[in-house]
């Protein structure tokens, strides 16, 4: 019962925060108004700038920021104990992450959809703009390299997830074209798409698992499954980046958001049943605060705040908010639901991940067997045939007495998939199907992050091209090719084996991501400073998000990378810290003279009057 009480208390806290603190931020601090023009109407081109109904843009925004971030981070961090992870997720989402996301979205909306990096040029200084854009490009390079590997890993572990993930893409294109041409709503066709997606989940689970290991040996140095999937995913990411948002991104993300709601509903109901029946017991399964951790593991302070990024606070979110979402917001007042609300929902997802990786896996580890070419799942037992449950089951995944080097990405993804499947199975869903549902959920989210990150990298590279006067880079096809090309080079040359290069940059992801959040909060700090607004609500999170990741990066540089002679990570780390320090100095020098002085404004536009939403068929729900 305690597991259910923890879940209920967390969810109620998020709801209360949205209607109190979130409302204050939207109405009092930022003064959102339906009468203010938005970039989707000012610069509408039906490719990047598209007025979009709130429910649709919420789905796109949420699935873009969520990805596997709120899954991998909490799944890894609970080896320190579930309580520190839970507290950081709840209070981080409410007081830091939600504020960060909302601020980035509002500032971009009020600057014609410019990215937060470009706005920094007028709020702070032109040098700050260039520095920020370089940090953004570096962070997105890491995201593209890492998340392509995440999806390839999921496909390799759970081949039953492959069919549904790829079927969702052409289905989304058909739905996008149908809605755009017919003028119909998006809700009904997206429900049909959702039904097709779950039919593909069923087919993948029982009849059509796509296992490339039967064609490409995992032991092959180059043509192994991860390499093939990485190439296919980068080709897809290129196409998704240059296509109009209404054709693929919006319908696909909308379908994915509905899939998430279904999966979350099943998880919550399953968690309640398992908790009330006594099958899931958070307190008996996992220590609230771990007494022992794997040898060589980093200290909880500051690394808890780096390991759990998405789900509490993530710099990647400022890229989504100011890169794609701000160009699709129909009314400025929608920003509270989309910016602050989506962050709280991601926090709720992270809470469920923590419970699934603790109480869920405590219900029993899942064994994967292949019988006659068909994958089958069953709960693991001891040699004597006794079911493995409780802390013994949890230790199957986390091995707190082992070595930190033995912890890998696949284990943590499996902890969430298996723990979540245990919850869903209590609802009456067969274990085979429950595992497939969870695997598709993880892979679909990661794919959404991959295509959104590619589009964002294209925007950033185009802005860098304009800033540095590199004319070819301002072309969207050249910029996208550059983004995908760099990710491919890292994937296939940086690691010990082709396709695994993203692992080389994985240690940089958390700290760089959080440093980016600190810099975005710094831009928001100057936005409020110039308008004479209260600063503590932004200033305190800004200091935290600059201090913690800088501390973690410095620890890694001194204790690990330098001693190991890993000069690639040393170079990246020193470069990122140097850029952050330079931008901080820019801000400190300017701060006194900026108080109460508005930044230079953009040239005036002939602002069209916003049209009723009914004339925008692709954005209807």
pLDDT band, very low/low/confident/very high, at 305 (cuts 50, 70, 90): very high
Can you tell me whether residue 577 is helix, strand or coil? helix
Max CA pair span of the chain: 77
Query: Is 208 contained in some domain?
Result: yes
**pLDDT value of position 501:** 60
Q: Compute the average pLDDT of residues 315-343.
A: 94
d(CA 68, CA 441): 9
Q: Compute the average pLDDT of residues 10-15.
A: 96
Q: Compute the average pLDDT of residues 370-390.
A: 79
**pLDDT value of position 482:** 93
CA neighbours within 13 Å on the CB side: how many for 508?
28
pLDDT in tens, 522-554: 999 999 999 999 999 999 999 999 999 999 999
Q: Which of 621, 122, 218, 552 is nearest to 410 (CA)?
A: 218
pLDDT over 50 (residue 104) = yes
* Single pTM value for the model: 0.89
pLDDT in tens, 31-69: 999 999 999 999 998 878 989 889 889 988 888 888 777
d(CA 38, CA 41): 6
Per the prediction, the chain carries an average pLDDT of: 86
Q: Compute the average pLDDT of residues 121-149.
A: 83
pLDDT in tens, 465-505: 988 889 999 998 999 999 998 888 877 776 566 655 666 66
CATH code of 437's domain:
1.20.1740.10
Q: Which residues pair with 379 in a beta bridge?
A: 366
**pLDDT value of position 495:** 57
The kind and range of the H/E element at 376 are: strand 374-379
> What percentage of the chain exceeds 90 in pLDDT?
39
Query: Is 113 contained in some domain?
Result: yes
pLDDT over 50 (residue 391) = yes
**pLDDT value of position 402:** 65
Range of the domain at 124: 2-35+54-619
Please give the residue that has the higher pLDDT: either 362 or 142.
362
25 Cβ contact partners less than 8 Å away, ≥ 6 residues apart: 98, 99, 102, 336, 340, 537
d(CA 459, CA 201): 34
Angle of CA points 341, 238, 63, to nearest 5°: 15
d(CA 590, CA 596): 12
> What percentage of the chain exceeds 70 in pLDDT?
92
Query: Is 460 contained in some domain?
Result: yes
pLDDT in tens, 243-270: 887 788 778 877 877 888 888 899 999 9
Q: Compute the average pLDDT of residues 139-156.
A: 81
Q: How many Å is the Cα radius of gyration of the chain?
A: 23
Q: Which of 257, 261, 172, 259 is nearest to 618 (CA)?
A: 172
pLDDT over 80 (residue 520) = yes
pLDDT in tens, 589-621: 888 888 889 998 888 876 454 444 443 434 333
The kind and range of the H/E element at 366 are: strand 366-371
d(CA 167, CA 146): 23
**pLDDT value of position 523:** 94
d(CA 182, CA 568): 52
Query: Is 48 contained in some domain?
Result: no
**pLDDT value of position 606:** 62
Domain count, the chain: 1
**pLDDT value of position 580:** 84
State yes or no: cis peptide before 314, omega within 30 of 0. Answer: no
3-state helix, strand, coil in the chain (%, to 5): 75, 5, 25
Distances (CA, A) of 280 to 85, 271, 421: 19, 8, 13
**pLDDT value of position 419:** 93
pLDDT over 90 (residue 82) = yes
Lowest mean pLDDT among 195-204, 364-373, 555-564, 611-620: 611-620
Most confident of 86-100, 194-208, 406-420, 509-523: 86-100
Can you tell me whether residue 375 is helix, strand or coil? strand
Angle of CA points 417, 208, 367, to nearest 5°: 35
Query: Is 494 contained in some domain?
Result: yes
90 Cβ contact partners less than 8 Å away, ≥ 6 residues apart: 10, 13, 14, 347, 351
**pLDDT value of position 619:** 36
**pLDDT value of position 609:** 46
């Amino acid at each position: 019962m305690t597991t259910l009480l923890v879940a209920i208390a967390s969810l109620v806290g998020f709801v209360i925060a949205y209607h109190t603190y979130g409302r204050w931020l939207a109405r009092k601090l930022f003064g959102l108004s339906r009468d203010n023009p938005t970039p989707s109407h000012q610069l509408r081109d039906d490719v990047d700038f598209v007025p979009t109904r709130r429910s649709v843009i919420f789905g796109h925004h949420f699935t873009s920021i969520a990805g596997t971030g709120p899954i991998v981070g909490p799944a890894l961090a609970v080896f320190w104990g579930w309580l520190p992870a839970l507290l950081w997720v709840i209070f981080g989402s409410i007081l830091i992450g939600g504020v960060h996301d909302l601020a980035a979205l509002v500032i971009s909306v009020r600057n014609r959809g410019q990215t937060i990096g470009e706005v920094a040029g007028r709020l702070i200084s032109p040098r700050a703009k260039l520095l920020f854009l370089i940090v953004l490009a570096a962070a997105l390079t890491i995201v593209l390299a890492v998340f392509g590997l995440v999806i390839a890993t999921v496909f390799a572990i759970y081949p039953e997830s492959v069919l549904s993930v790829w079927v969702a893409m052409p289905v989304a294109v058909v739905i996008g074209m149908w809605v755009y041409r017919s003028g119909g709503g998006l809700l009904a066709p997206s429900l049909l798409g959702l039904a097709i997606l779950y039919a593909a989940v069923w087919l993948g689970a029982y009849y059509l698992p796509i296992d490339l290991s039967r064609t490409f040996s995992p032991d092959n140095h180059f043509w192994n499954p991860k390499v093939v999937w990485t190439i296919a995913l980068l080709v897809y990411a290129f196409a998704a980046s240059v296509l109009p948002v209404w054709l693929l991104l919006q319908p696909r993300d909308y379908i994915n958001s509905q899939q998430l709601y279904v999966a979350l509903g099943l998880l919550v109901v399953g968690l309640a049943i398992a908790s009330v029946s006594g099958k899931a017991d958070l307190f008996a399964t996992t220590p609230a605060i771990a007494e022992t951790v794997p040898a060589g593991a980093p200290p909880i302070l500051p690394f808890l705040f780096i390991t759990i990024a998405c789900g509490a606070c993530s710099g990647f979110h400022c890229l989504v908010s100011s890169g794609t979402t701000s160009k699709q917001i129909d009314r400025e007042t929608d920003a509270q639901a989309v910016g602050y609300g989506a962050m709280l929902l991601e926090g709720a997802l992270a809470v469920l991940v923590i419970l699934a990786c603790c109480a869920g896996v405590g219900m029993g580890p899942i064994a994967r067997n292949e019988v006659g070419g068909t994958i089958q799942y069953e709960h693991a037992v001891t040699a004597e045939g006794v079911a493995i449950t409780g802390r013994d089951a949890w230790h199957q995944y986390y091995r707190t007495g082992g070595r930190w080097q033995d912890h890998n990405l696949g284990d943590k993804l499996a902890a969430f998939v298996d723990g979540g499947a245990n919850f869903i199975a209590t609802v009456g869903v067969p274990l085979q199907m429950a595992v497939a549902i969870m695997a598709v959920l993880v892979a679909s989210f990661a794919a959404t992050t991959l295509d959104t990150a590619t589009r964002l990298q294209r925007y950033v590279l185009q802005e860098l091209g304009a800033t540095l006067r590199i004319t070819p880079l301002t072309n969207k096809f050249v910029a996208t090719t550059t983004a995908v090309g760099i990710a491919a080079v890292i994937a296939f040359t940086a690691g010990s084996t082709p396709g695994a290069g993203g692992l080389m940059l994985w240690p940089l992801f958390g700290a760089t991501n959080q440093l980016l959040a600190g810099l975005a909060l710094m831009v928001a700090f100057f936005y409020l400073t110039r308008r004479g607004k209260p600063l503590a609500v932004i200033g305190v999170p800004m200091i935290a998000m600059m201090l913690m990741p800088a501390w973690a990066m410095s620890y890694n540089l001194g204790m690990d990378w330098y001693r190991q002679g890993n000069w690639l990570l040393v170079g990246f780390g020193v470069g990122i810290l140097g850029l952050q320090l330079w931008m901080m100095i820019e801000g400190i020098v300017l701060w006194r003279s900026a108080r109460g002085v508005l930044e230079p404004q953009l040239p005036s536009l002939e602002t069209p009057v916003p049209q009723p939403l009914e004339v925008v068929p692709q954005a209807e729900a």
